[in-house]
Chains A and B, each alone.
Chain A
Amino acid sequence: MFSLLTTHPFDIFDLTGSDLAIVLLMVIVFVLALVLPHPSHGHIGRKRS
C-alpha cells in the first residue's frame, strides 16, 4: 500500500519511517512558514501614534 508506512528506510536509528517522516515534515513546514510571504503582507493599515 503506502510505502511510507510499510518500509523502514531509517533502520539505523531503529525508528520507523513514519516517526522520522513526521519530524522531517515538521521541519519542512516550519521553514516554509518562516520563508513564505504572507498573503496579506503590504495591506494598508493605520499607524497608531
Chain B
Amino acid sequence: MSERAKRQYRGYRMVQADLIKELAIAFAVVAGLVLLLAFLFSSPDQPTLTAQEVATNHPAELEATVIHILDGQNMIAAYGPPYNHGSGSLQRIGFISPQAWAGITLPLNAKSVFILTPLSRVAPLDPPLSSALSTFRAASAHQQAAWEHSYQVALDHATVVHGQVVLPASDSGPLPIMIGAYMNLARSGALEALINVNGRVYQTDFTRALLVLQGAPLTRVAAGQELLGPEWGQMKEPGNYPGAVWLWFYTLLYQLPPYVNSPVADLLAGATVGVVTLLFMFIPWIPGLRDIPRKVKVYRLIWRGHYAKRKK
C-alpha cells in the first residue's frame, strides 16, 4: 500500500481485496444474465413503415399526405427551421428561440423533394404524367391551389376499391394523373429511393425519405402500440420490451402541465432538463441537496458494521 493510501485510510481496519477477481466474477455474472435474457426474450425488431405498405393498405391516407404536402398544410411543408421558412413547428418563448437562431441548416422544399422531383424522374417513362407535370408547373399558384382544394374535397368523399382510391368527379386539373402515378410509384417500393437520390452511388443519409411519412401514417402505427408522447412514448419500446427507462424524467415532463400540449413543449422540456442536469451534476456543492443523504441515513445501513464497532 502506498504512503498516500496509508494516510487516506489511517484509523480504519483494512481487509484483503481482489478487484481483478471481482471484475472477472462480475463479468461472468453479467454475461450469464444477458445470455439468458437474450435466449429467453430475444429483442424487438419491427420492420420500418414503408410508403409501399401505406399505399397498399391505407391508400387514402397516403393521398391525403400527398395533397397536404402540395398545399403546404403538411407538417414538414409548414415546419420552419431547420428545413424551411414555415412556422408550423417553430418553438419560441419570448425572444428565446435557438431554432430560429440556428436558421435553415437542412433546407428542404417538401413539395419539390417529396412529390415533384420523384415524379419528374419517372416522367420520361410515362408520357401522360409528363404532360400533367408540365400543366401543373405552368399553372399559376392560384390555379394550383384551386386544383389542390378541389382534389382534397373529392378525397373526403372517396371510396377505396381493391386497394385503389376512387374519387368522385372533380375539377382537379392534372392532379389525378400526378397522384395516381405517385401512388403507383409508392406501391412499387421505389418511392423512398427516388426521394433520396443524391446523384452518387453511396448513400448514408436518409433524412428526406424518413420525413415523407411524418404525420398520419407513422402516428397511426405508433398509436397502435401506445408509443405517442402523451403515452410516455419517448421511453417505450415496441412490443412490450423494456424501453429507455433512464429517460423517465424527460418523458414525465411531457405528461405534466405546462409541458403537456404546449406548442413549445420541446423547448421547455429541453431547458428544464438542462437546469435539472446542472443541479444534479453539482449536488456536492449545493447546500440542502448535498445534505439529503445525511438526513435519510441510508448510509447507516451500508456501513452498519463500522458503526456497530464504533459503539463498542
Contact = CB atoms under 8 A, between A and B. Distances in A.
B13 A48 contact: yes
B41 interface: yes
B223 to A, nearest CB: 12
Contacts of B11: 48-49
B15 A17 contact: no
A11 to B, nearest CB: 9
A48 B242 contact: no
A23 to B, nearest CB: 6
Contacts of B239: 5
Interface string A35-46: 100101101011
Contacts of B242: 16, 18-19, 21-22
Interface in B232-265: 232, 235-237, 239-243, 245, 248
B235 A19 contact: yes
Contacts of A2: 40-41
B190 to A, nearest CB: 36
Contact of B10 (A22, A43, A48): A48
A45 B15 contact: yes
A18 B41 CA distance: 12
Given A34-B301, A34-B302, A5 B13 contact: no
Given A6-B240, A14-B232, A16-B240, 10 more contacts: A5-B239, A14-B230, A15-B236, A18-B242, A19-B242, A35-B301, A45-B14, A45-B15, A48-B10, A48-B13
